[in-house]
C-alpha cells in the first residue's frame, strides 16, 4: 500500500513537472531586443513569449519612480491578463555625472519614448564637457516574476562601465553604442551579444531568475 502511494505521488509529481517544463515564460515587454537577449540567455530552457504574441495586451503606464515599482507594475498587470508565469524587466542607465539620470526615465530621455538615437544624442550633449575619468555609469536591471496578478519574487543586476565620447558598433540596442563595460575599451554594441550577455545587468539579473526557476523545477536544464 505504502509502495503504491509512493508510486502515485512520484507519477503525479513527474506529470506536474513536465507540465511546468513545457510552459512558456511570458515576458511583459514591448521591447523585442529585451526578449531576444532573454531568449538567448535562457538557451532553450523554456519557450519565451512577449507582447508580440498577445495583440490585446494593455499599455502599462510606468508611473513608478524606481525600477522595482515599474517592473512590478508591468509583471502584475500582464499576469492578471494571461495565464502562466510572467517576467517583467525594468532597466536603465545611471550616469554619475548626471546624478543618476536618465535612470528610470532612460527610455524617453531624448524627448520621445523608445527613440534610441535621440536618447544617445542627448546623452552625448549632456556629457560634452565631462572628461573621460568622470564618465562612470552603470546599467541597472530589476526583474519581477508574477502569476495571476501577484508578484512572487524580484531580482536585480548591474554592470559598471563608462560613457564613451563617440558612439560605436551596430549590436545591441539603446545606449549600447555609448557604454563600455569596465575592463573594455569597446562599447557593448561593438563587443557583441555573447560578451554583453555574459556581463550585462540583464544577464546578471536573469542568472538569479534562472536559479530560482530551476529550484522550483519551472524550467528544464539545457
- Site residues (CB under 6 A) for ligand ITT? 29-31, 34, 62, 89-93, 106-107, 114, 119, 139, 172-176, 200, 202
Considering the complex, what minimum distance in angstroms separates the CB of residue 81 from ligand ITT?
15
Cis upstream peptide for 102 (omega within 30°): yes
How are the residues of the chain apportioned to helix, strand and coil, as percentages rounded to the nearest 5? 45, 20, 35
Q: Tell me how far, at minimum, the Cβ of 186 lies from ligand ITT, in Å.
A: 14
Q: Which is nearer to ligand ITT, 16 or 198 (CB)?
A: 198
CA dihedral of residues 164, 170, 175, 180 (deg, nearest 10): -40
Least Å distance, CB 164 to ligand ITT, is: 13
**Direct distance between the N- and C-terminal alpha carbons of the chain, in angstroms, rounded to an integer:** 37
Q: Is 53 a catalytic residue?
A: no
| 50, 89, 90, 176: the active-site residue | 90
Phi-psi region of 115 (alpha: psi -120 to 50; beta: other; left: phi over 0): beta
**By Cβ distance, which residue is nearest to ligand ITT?**
174
Which of residues 17 and 69 has its CB atom nearest to ligand ITT in the complex? 69
Q: Whole-number minimum distance, CB 83 to ligand ITT, in Å?
A: 20
Residues 130 and 124: their CA atoms lie apart, in Å, by 10
Residues sharing a CB contact under 8 Å with residue 38, sequence separation 6 or more, in sequence order: 27, 48, 87, 89, 202, 206
Nearer to ligand ITT, 79 or 119 (CB): 119
39 versus 216: smaller Cβ distance to ligand ITT: 39
Catalytically active residues, by annotation: 90
Amino acid at each position: 500500500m505504502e509502495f503504491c502511494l509512493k508510486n502515485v505521488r512520484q507519477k503525479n509529481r513527474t506529470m506536474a513537472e513536465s507540465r511546468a517544463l513545457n510552459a512558456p515564460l511570458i515576458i511583459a515587454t514591448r521591447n523585442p531586443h529585451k526578449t531576444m537577449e532573454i531568449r538567448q540567455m535562457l538557451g532553450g530552457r523554456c519557450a519565451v513569449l512577449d507582447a508580440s504574441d498577445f495583440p490585446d495586451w494593455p499599455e502599462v503606464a510606468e508611473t513608478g519612480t524606481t525600477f522595482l515599482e515599474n517592473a512590478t507594475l508591468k509583471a502584475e498587470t500582464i499576469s492578471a491578463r494571461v495565464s502562466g508565469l510572467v517576467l517583467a524587466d525594468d532597466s536603465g542607465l545611471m550616469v554619475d555625472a548626471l546624478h543618476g539620470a536618465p535612470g528610470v526615465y532612460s527610455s524617453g530621455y531624448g524627448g520621445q519614448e523608445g527613440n534610441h538615437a535621440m536618447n544617445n544624442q542627448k546623452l552625448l550633449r549632456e556629457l560634452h564637457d565631462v572628461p573621460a575619468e568622470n564618465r562612470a555609469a552603470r546599467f541597472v536591471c530589476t526583474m519581477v516574476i508574477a502569476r495571476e496578478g501577484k508578484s512572487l519574487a524580484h531580482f536585480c543586476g548591474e554592470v559598471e562601465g563608462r560613457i564613451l565620447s563617440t558612439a560605436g558598433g551596430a549590436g545591441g540596442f539603446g545606449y549600447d553604442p555609448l557604454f563600455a563595460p569596465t575592463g573594455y575599451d569597446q562599447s557593448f554594441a561593438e563587443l557583441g551579444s555573447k560578451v554583453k550577455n555574459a556581463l550585462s545587468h540583464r544577464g546578471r539579473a536573469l542568472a538569479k531568475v534562472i536559479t530560482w526557476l530551476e529550484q522550483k523545477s519551472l524550467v528544464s536544464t539545457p
